[in-house]
Structure 1
Amino acid sequence: MLYRGNRVASLFSQLCNLNIDIRQLSCHDLKLIFRTVNITRELFPDGRVYNFNIPYRVMEANIRHFFGDRFGVLASFTQPDGSNSKTVSKKNFAQFYWSARKGKYSIPDGFGDQLDLESLQRIEILTLYTCYASRSKGFVAFLDLHARQREISSEHIRAHLLRGFKMIHSFFPFQDGALTVTFDIPLNRNLVLSCLKQVGVEEIMPNQEKYLIVLEKPLRETISFISSL
């Protein structure tokens, strides 16, 4: 799909109106997610993380592939339940790391910047973003959305798209480029296309239909809109 830099940048104010808690994660945050079995089973039901439309096994050794100068990870969260939410102490959080490492006590750098035990359970969508300069002009960008296995609101999807676009904009301000979005169930094609239209991306690039990929697996369906400049 065609990303128009000027048009999309004018819509960034929508992020404030959506009132969605969305954060940029660190590699240590992603390690916590990978170590939380019930979360990984819902976010990655086939045991694969898609980045740049490439499947990676859910292994800590692969996390290094998801962070760099022009790529990273975003997460959005549901609102905390006041009746069940609780403060997680630094001591308890450290204990979680200790048990996850099977006896090797470890406190990572940047400890506690984004995630704690309570917020882990509230993750709604995880997005991996990648962008790079095109050989001809503009850029190519990928947004790979991984949603929990339940009904997801359009507000969360739009928040991820807009936040991903802001990251792209920081690298390629007001430039046009080619955008690929991949996603899995329970998100569906019509819902994602509707959200893309609401955030200013609706133009089909020439001959894009030739590059429409539908990949079906027993537990996952990924649809990618692949174009090139």
Structure 2
Amino acid sequence: MPTALVVSAHSADFVWRAGGAIALHAAKGWEVTVVCLSYGERGESAKLWRQPGMTLDRVKAAREEEAKAAARHLGVHDIQFWDLGDYPINLNEAAFYRLVDLYRAIHPKFVLTHSKADIYNHDHPAVTDFAQHARITAQAHGHNPGQKVLGAPPVFLFEPHQPEQCDWKPDVLLDISPVWEKKRAAIECMAGQEHLWEYYTRVALQRGAQAARNSDKSIKHGEGYQSVFPHVVETLG
């Protein structure tokens, strides 16, 4: 089966930003692996922290259950929680080589991760740099000689919360209309961030309208991505 890799800084990021792409490819038989480097336990769990007697372990457990439930709706093949801390994520050497090993193990056909800039959340650009550096190392013939090296999977950067402030401009618009209900169900699993449900529904409608405008198709819901590398194609039509 073809494979794909999603490197998510926090346990909810893959849902808001790439849930449609995950569900779309999973429905076509792809095996999608999602790595959540952090639970988002400090910066993205305010609703949980407002509950009396809340502890760090309880926050992490709640966020993990939310993400697992969302992953089931989307058809994720494998979801991993690396628990590297939050605000800031501790992207240490051991985690780096763990990600390199994962690239070599699954040989993804494409990679989804964060934007190169995010002035509101520095964990996000740190993670995209981390993910892309690991990709480069996984391509190196001198790293663990004898292993099959990674090819050249395209990398797509998903939409940050405030794209205009993050120098993010989509050059790929993905029609997620066939799987929108799956993404919405996954969104509603993220009880700790209920205030974002309607926001990301509006984002999907906006990207869908833009996708329809740039095609001859009837598209209602979409996701936007920014490609890192040139597209290699056989035709331009």
TM-score computed with the length of structure 1 as normaliser: 0.32
Relative contact order, higher structure (CA 8 A, sep 6+): 1
More strand by share: 1
TM-score computed with the length of structure 2 as normaliser: 0.31
